[in-house]
Amino acid sequence: MTRLKQALIWSSIGLAQVAASIAISSATIAAPTKAITTDSTPTSSSNPVLIATANPTIPTVATAQSTNLMLWNNLPTWLLLPLVTGGGIVGLVFATGLVVISEREVGVVVKKFSFSGKGLPADRLIAMDGEAGYQADTLAPGWHWGYWPWQYSVKKERVINVPQGQIALVIANDGCAIPPERILGKVITSNDYQDARKFLKNGGEKGRQLGFLTSGTYRINTALFKVITADTAQKHGMQAAQLMLTRIKSDMVGMITTLDGRPIDQGEIAGSTIPGHDNFQNGQKFMQQGGRRGLQEQILLSGSWNLNPWFVQVEQVPMTEVPIGYVGVVISYVGQAHEDISGDAFTHGDLVHQGHKGVWTEPLYPGKHPINTRVMSVELVPTTNIVLNWSGRMERHHYDEKLSPLTVLSHDGFTFDLEVSQIIHVGALDAPKVISRVGSMQNLVDHVLEPTIGNYFRNSAQDCTVLDFLDARSERQSEAADFIKVALRSYDVQAIDTLIGDIHPPDDLMETQTERKIAEEQRKTYEVQQLAQSQRQQLVRETALAEIQEDLVRSEENVKMAELKASSKVKEAAGAAESIRLKAAGEAEALRAIGQANADAYQAGVESLGNQNYTAMQLMQIIGERNVRVIPEIMVGQNGNGGGLSDALLSMLLWNQTHEGQPLPMGQAVKPAATPHPATPTTRENVTATPEKAQRNGQRIEPLAPPIAPPLAPPNMPQFDQ
């Protein structure tokens, strides 16, 4: 056991010596080029020992041997075998140069010395041809042989992990110098900076890189590349937010400013649109195709973008909103060369197609539009009716904010204030013309409408007195509307209406006018009251008439009925008269005929009998036919009885009593009542029957000849009874 133990001890001492020598050589190689003094004084042994006085921590061989002997002599026997085994493994590792890299690591190799003696150029940091120093090639996960500790030092670095939603920036410590016209190193095909040899061989440039790492895991040679992630951003003077994906909201646009590229051309304010660079995510293509540094025409729309903050700065602004009732006229300060398309008739401005510099001929209609407001401006033009007030009232659009009532001078020397409202309309297709002509809607109000309307009313007021202006207000308003409509049409503005508001005449004049008006109103009041009284009287009259209306109607009806009856009687009388006239004419004709016949018969009788004889015959015939009494029934005379006149009167009284007051028939004598004639008494009907009565009885009565009264007998003539 003692011999075995001693053998093990000496073996350990030998390995310790080898390790010490390796450590010394390593320290010597790795030490800086400071002065290292050595002492060549030999020790008790024949082999000299180097003593590094510059670094007292490097042990000498003798010290190592003495230390090992003391250590091993004090160790128990059961620990010697594992230690010897471990020492053998360590010795094997050192002897074969084995390096083990795990799956989440990358090995960065440092070559301590080169057998060829070739050194790195002064401007290089990474060795590519076996020179001593940092090596371009790294060690991937696994076992790697031949990297003897005395020649190589392998630094195990963790892989670079870029989380989702982030990027990582890269700084190259070696490579070509970046040209002065650029600030970022160009992108080199190097497997996302994982192949350092390709990067350097293909002309990679040192410094900040245009390329960057997106989310993922990368094995980066940290000796060549320094990687800045969100976790390490503050160590490099950056904010973690700068290494996040650039997210543009849905109602926003991103204004782009590039920090690298060619200078912007003279006379331009922004770089023109460059195709094919995937919205500034591929900076190398942007640079290769002539991209300009500075403000860009192109914008970013909503979405997430991988952008290098060393290359691109993004400012988010809201989209340009055109409200309902408006259009947006675009004025572009960038684009293709100016080319006027307005035509010869439009001489007060220029219009261009979309994409050119100038006022675009097509307006923006209501909605949200992604417009780069850094290189373009949008003038909103109302397409609804705009009311402008020359008064103390202001509309919501504020175009009339600076307008005030017009102060005008009348013909009679009075100054008074006049309030006016003007309604205008600008069509959607006319809006670009208006903006091209005057620049803005406020300029239209200040430079066109205000002087046009103000001067018109000032001129109009001087043609009449204040009172005439007040009286002819409607005519003045109509004339103003016609004039202003024609004047604004030349500016492509439609004048809808011109309205005169309040008129403020001088107080003295208004006081006189007010008194006159009050007097006139009083007169009108009196006239109205008088008319009211007249109407009241009329009402009373009509009321009274209404109350007697029934009687009045009845009276009117009676009058009408009386008139009808009178008319009927008149017509009846006229008919009767006509009947009598006709009857009389007929009877007269009959009488004439009878008379003519009688005359003819009488003439014939006279001719045959003679005049006297025929007359006597006719007379007797008449007496016989008419029952004419030749001798009277009552004779008053003197006789022996002494009756005389009293008898005659008595006879007449008796007649009257028996005949109920009927008069004595014409031509009949009064007979004494005591001795009536036995024959049928002659009554009034028998004697005085009229032709009309005879006709009613169906008899025909010839007209009677006048009765012939018998001559009175002489006093002594004897009386005859009938």
Examine residue 337 and state whether it is found in any structural domain, yes or no: no
Candidates 200, 390, 181; CA nearest to 291 is: 181
Please check the confidence at residue 214 and state whether its pLDDT lies above 70: yes
Specify whether 559 is located in the same domain as 695. Answer: no
For the ranges 334-338, 378-382, 408-412, 414-418, the one whose mean pLDDT is highest = 378-382
Query: Percentage of the chain surpassing pLDDT 90?
Result: 46
- With b for 16 or more beta-carbon neighbours within 10 A and e for fewer, the 289-324 pattern comes to eebbbbbbbbbbeeeebbbbbbbbbbeeeebbbbee
For residue 709, with 0-12 CB atoms within 10 Å meaning exposed, 13-18 middle and 19 or more buried, which class applies? exposed
Residue 323 lies in a domain: no
370 within a domain of the structure (yes/no)? no
Same domain, 154 and 267: no
pLDDT at 504: 86
Residue 706 confidence (pLDDT) above 50: no
Q: What is the pLDDT of residue 685?
A: 41
For residue 41, what pLDDT band results from cuts at 50, 70 and 90? very low
**Alpha helix (H) residue ranges in 421-499:** 431-438, 441-444, 450-461, 466-471, 473-489
Beta strand 126-127 with 133-139 is parallel
Q: What is the pLDDT of residues 366-380, one digit of tens each?
A: 999 999 999 999 999
SS3 314: strand
Going by C-alpha positions, the residue among 197, 195, 200, 194 that lies closest to residue 218 is 194
Please tell me whether residues 113 and 232 are part of one structural domain: yes
* Domains of the chain: total: 6
pLDDT-derived band of residue 637, with 50, 70 and 90 as boundaries?
A: low
Whether the per-residue pLDDT at 634 is higher than 60: the answer is: no
pLDDT at 632: 62
What is the distance in angstroms between the CA of the first residue and the CA of the last residue of the chain? 241
DSSP string, 360-381: BSSPBPSEEE---TTTEEEEEE
46 shares a domain with 31: yes
322-331, 498-507, 684-693, range with greatest mean pLDDT:
322-331
Does the residue 169 lie in any domain?
A: yes
Final residue belonging to a domain, choices 510, 530, 562 = 510
Averaged over 127-134, what is the pLDDT? 90
Of the given ranges (47-56, 324-333, 580-589, 689-698), which has the lowest mean pLDDT?
47-56
Q: What is the mean pLDDT of residues 131-138?
A: 93
- Shared domain for 103 and 229, answered yes or no, is yes
Examine residue 373 and state whether it is found in any structural domain, yes or no: no
Q: pLDDT value at position 712?
A: 42
Q: Kindly list the distances between the CA atom of residue 287 and the CA atoms of 259, 260, 262, 271, 666, in Å, as whole numbers in the listed order.
A: 11, 8, 8, 12, 170
Do 659 and 688 fall into the same domain?
yes
pLDDT at residue 67 tops 90: no
Question: Which has the minimum average pLDDT: 16-20, 72-76, 271-275, 434-438?
Answer: 16-20
The reported pLDDT for the residue numbered 659 is 59
What are the start-end ranges of the H helices in 548-669? 549-609, 611-625, 645-658
Give domain status of residue 581, yes or no.
yes
The angle that helices 473-489 and 450-461 make with each other, rounded to 10 degrees, is 140
Phi then psi for residue 135, to 5 deg, are -95, 145
Q: Grade residue 648 by pLDDT with cuts at 50, 70 and 90.
A: low
* pLDDT higher than threshold 80 for residue 403: yes
Confidence of residue 134 (pLDDT cuts 50, 70, 90): very high
* 215 and 124 assigned to the same domain: yes
Higher pLDDT, residue 234 or 633: 234
- Per-residue pLDDT at 696 exceeds 80: no
Q: Average pLDDT of the chain?
A: 79
| Same structural domain, 165 and 110 | yes
Could you tell me the pLDDT band of residue 586, with boundaries at 50, 70 and 90? confident
Rounded mean pLDDT of 629-640? 58
Highest-confidence segment of 96-105, 191-200, 509-518, 572-581: 191-200
> Residue 127 in contact with residue 74, Cβ under 8 Å?
no
pLDDT higher at 143 or 348 = 143
Report the distance separating Cα 432 and Cα 330, nearest Å. 8
pLDDT band at 635 (very low <50, low <70, confident <90, very high): low
> For residue 377, how many C-alpha atoms fall within 13 Å in the half-sphere facing its CB?
11
Among 57-66, 229-238, 448-457, which is the least confidently predicted range?
57-66
Whether residue 253 has pLDDT greater than 60: yes
**Quick one: pLDDT at residue 61?**
41
What would the pLDDT profile of 137-149 be if each residue is shown by its tens digit?
999 999 999 898 8
- Are 250 and 280 found together in one domain? yes
| pLDDT (tens digit per residue) in 459-481 | 999 988 888 888 888 999 999 99
Confidence of residue 640 (pLDDT cuts 50, 70, 90): low
Report pLDDT digits (tens) over 79-129.
655 665 656 566 666 667 899 999 999 999 999 888 877 788 888 999 998
Around Cβ 221, how many Cβ atoms within 10 Å? Answer: 25
Whether residue 210 lies inside any domain: the answer is yes
pLDDT digits (tens, 9 = 90+) for 598-609: 778 778 878 887
pLDDT score for 564:
86
The answer on 270 and 228 residing in a single domain is: no
For residues 39 and 57, state if they share a domain: yes
Q: Is residue 523 situated within a structural domain?
A: no
Q: Which two tokens stand for residue 261?
A: 């590229």
Q: Domain ends where: 74, 96, 118?
A: 96
Distance CA 338, CA 352 (A): 7
Let me know: does 441 contact 395? Beta carbons within 8 Å. no
Residue 304 is part of which domain span? 245-318
Q: How confident is the model at residue 681 (pLDDT cuts 50, 70, 90)?
A: very low
SS3 552: helix
Give yes or no: residues 426 and 488 share one domain.
yes
Measured between alpha carbons, how far is residue 34 from residues 28, 568, 702 in Å? 11, 171, 205
The DSSP-derived string for 69-80 is: HHHHHHS-GGGH
Using the 3D structure, point to which of 318, 344, 361 is the last residue of a domain.
Answer: 318
Q: What per-residue confidence (pLDDT) applies to 389?
A: 95
pTM of this structure:
0.58
455 versus 577: which is more confidently predicted? 455
Under 8 Å between Cβ of 145 and 157: no
